[in-house]
A and B are shown apart, each in its own frame.
Chain A
Amino acid sequence: MRFVWFWTFWYWSKESFRSGHLLRGPLQGVGGHWDEWFQHEASEQDLRTIEETGRSESTQREFIAWLFRHWAGECHEPSRRMAPRFVAGQLAHVPPFNKWRAFEKYRNSYGLAGISALVLSGESAGGPEDVRRVEAIALPADSAGQKLIPEGFKAEAAEFATARSAAQGVLRGKGLLILLGLWVLGGRKPYPRWFSAALSAGWVAVAGLILFLLKGPEPGGQLFLLSAVLVGLWCSLMLVAAVVVLSQSFRAWRTGAYLAASLEQSQMRLCMNGGLTLKGGSAGLPFSLNLLLALYHSQPHAARRSWIWHRFFSEMHSDAESWAATGVITAAGYVSPVVIEPKLRACLQHNRIRHILTPRQREATERALCAIKPSSGAIKKEPSAEALSSGMRIGFAAEKPCLRIHRCRHLAQAIMALGKLTDRRRILANILPLIVSGIMVGALPDLRSILLPYPAPVAVAPASPSPYFIWASLDTKYPRYFSAVLESSYWSNRRAEVQPRGGLTPSVRAEIRLHRVIGTGASEEEGFVWIERRRRFLTREFLPGERVGRYSIAYLTRIGHE
């Protein structure tokens, strides 16, 4: 068994913690614990084997690999995935590891990607050194209850609490609702390209059918079929959209709740080198984003359950180096304005930053970005290390700044931008379904009357009190889908709409004015009133539908008077 000395140390640490000699948990205080053990507790044999391990870089690397592969197995909790990295980072500063070359890369960094913060030093007007790399690492919660510990800088505890609350809110709270709302309205959806094209074609077909029904030729007997196709297609598209939105929202909520619980149970360590004491809260936005990223680093499997979170985290993880952020964040996740110009200048001079997340403020525009150049003199890009070593002289052929500003009002918008979830074409493409759906909702009663006709109404009282009118009062709740037609040899034929009417005897009826036909020998009671279905689609009325009732004039004039 190799590296027994580390096990000896580890169990000494655990036992000392258990017995009340150590305040911090074995993991959280590993650096100081090691120092204590190495200085006072390690046996001669341990010291000798440690020295042997440190003799060559290859054995040092073997120890680090062992730490990651084997010792990490000691930490069973999923949130302890970052433990070996943290331990390596802590041990890198204590003897004898601070002399080991293999620990070099852990001395200033945990080797994790993070969104850079824009923190101006002193009176700086904005330089590349003001773009500060931030790393966050999630560990199991400390027994002392410290939720967030800064490393390499100092800041007010309240600022961390705000950043943490904002991250909590966007995982499980109002922030999540805002995120889902933004995603539903203009977010990329988890469809394959062909499916997306099919959906677009479907919406176009629905729009085409609507136009055909409104402006096309009289469909006649095809009206039922066309209406059925229209309703079926629209319902299918709506169903797909609803299923995707609801299922993804549910998954995002569940994953967010899980990650929020992890955040609650974790101790977060935010690292930013430079030894700065932060004044002001403009690093709140990058802090919140890095806290979210730390959760993903500690439990990448958790995000896989939700397409939205998975996409956001994987995009942020792979491209974090090219992003910087600035903005005061509130506990509810809203981003407040900050001093922006020197920060934009700092990003412009930094050769890694391609995107910057800013609050939604007037100064944060592409135009302002272009205006920075002349006012600040020549923008000095950091030359690459290879160029410096080869003594190459660099000439900057100035071009349009390749920095892209993403303005956000809320942390959710930053997430949309970072996860490349915003799709401008989708926003435009969503307009057609929205309009079409609006029209369809308005037309649904008409389509319903075509596809599932309402029951035929029966003529009821009251009859017309006037000899100049004949009333066809009907017992229906849907008068607009029926009309009455007078067919008589004595009276001129007329058609009248059925509608609710008031007066002394309110009822749903058709009122037909009676006009005698001159030169006929027929009786005045000869003739019938037919009840017809009306087929309509929004503003258009098609040819009348089937006749569902026939009443003699005599019956209608006497109804209620017998």
Chain B
Amino acid sequence: MSNEISIRQLLRWRAARAETEAPPAPRAARLLELARPWWETWPERFQSLVERLGSIQIAYGHAMAEPVEVRRSGYPVPTLIVRSGEELETSVCVLYLGVRDGRLRLRFQLEKAITHTPDTLEATFVAQGFTRPLFSAPAVLSVDNEYRIDCELPEKLARDWKELKVTDRMPFRLILRSDKDGP
């Protein structure tokens, strides 16, 4: 009896074994549910977060002791960080903003340092003065506690934001979620 088994046979055997051990494929309803954005899955939660986000007031009062030259500091973007059931009101500083070929490239830094900075955050863009979200995209941790976003933009937004500069007031607020599975 020959012990030699061809590679093809071995691969078939391994594939058959994997199929038997694999969990069952999710049902279509579950797939649809997974594909839905979180604000549709938990609309009440989203509503309360948006209300809280809308209540964040950030405005600088310059009580300067000495005359200073005009500075290029940009406008802080009101932000709500949601993780492990807790919410933290803060703001982010937009460091880079580029809209090209219908894609948004954004880098930002949190104004308030948080403990255990997560590698990825889900950034939900909420338009100023609206309760509907614009879109969401993953923000990946980069160097020096900066996060970067690279995502496609809806056509209208791509058109509107094309001329936007980092020193302009941003037309959005952010909800940053570190826990994708929970509300």
Contact = CB atoms under 8 A, between A and B. Distances in A.
Interface string A15-28: 01001111110000
B14 interface: no
Nearest to A23: B166
Interface string B58-94: 0000000000110111100000000000000000011
Interface stretch (A34-42, A358-366, A376-384, A423-431): A34-42
Contacts of B93: 23
A23 B72 contact: yes
Contacts of B143: 31-32, 35, 90, 93-94
A24 B94 CA distance: 10
Contacts, number: 65
A32 B107 contact: yes
Interface string A148-174: 000000100000000000000000000
B72 A144 contact: yes
B130 interface: no
Contact of A35 (B72, B98, B148): B148
B95 A144 contact: no
B73 A145 contact: yes
A23 B96 contact: yes
A35 B142 CA distance: 8
B95 A24 contact: yes
A143 interface: yes
Nearest to B164: A20
B113 A32 contact: no
Given A24-B95, A40-B150, A145-B68, A32 B166 contact: no
A445 interface: no
B144 A31 contact: yes
A144 B143 CA distance: 19
Given A36-B105, A144-B73, A154-B113, A22 B95 contact: yes
Given A32-B146, A145-B73, A16 B96 contact: yes
Contact of B96 (A22, A143, A154): A22
Nearest to A32: B146
Interface string A372-407: 000000000000000000000000000000000000
A36 B95 CA distance: 11
A202 interface: no
For this complex, into which size category does the number of interface residues on chain B fall? Answer: 20 to 34
Interface in B104-134: 105, 107, 113
A399 B162 CA distance: 72
A169 to B, nearest CB: 15
B71 A21 contact: no
B176 to A, nearest CB: 18
Contacts of A16: 96, 98
Contact of A23 (B142, B144, B167): B167
Contacts of A32: 95-96, 107, 142-144, 146
B17 to A, nearest CB: 37
A545 interface: no
B71 A20 contact: no
B105 A40 contact: yes
Contacts of B73: 23, 144-145
B96 to A, nearest CB: 5
A29 interface: yes
A90 B142 CA distance: 12
A22 B165 CA distance: 8
A94 B144 CA distance: 9
Nearest to B167: A20
A212 to B, nearest CB: 61
Contacts of B68: 145
Nearest to B166: A23
A36 B147 CA distance: 11
A143 B166 contact: no
Nearest to A37: B96
A35 B109 CA distance: 14
B95 A143 contact: no
A273 to B, nearest CB: 14
A143 B168 CA distance: 15
A249 B163 CA distance: 56
Given A23-B167, A33-B96, A36-B96, 11 more contacts: A20-B165, A20-B166, A22-B95, A23-B94, A23-B95, A23-B166, A32-B107, A32-B144, A32-B146, A36-B105, A40-B150
The list of the 5 closest CB pairs from A to B, nearest first, reads A20-B165, A145-B71, A143-B72, A23-B166, A144-B73
25 contacts: A16-B96, A20-B166, A20-B167, A21-B96, A21-B97, A21-B98, A23-B74, A23-B94, A23-B96, A24-B95, A31-B143, A31-B144, A32-B95, A32-B143, A32-B146, A35-B143, A36-B148, A39-B150, A40-B150, A90-B143, A94-B142, A94-B143, A144-B71, A144-B73, A145-B71
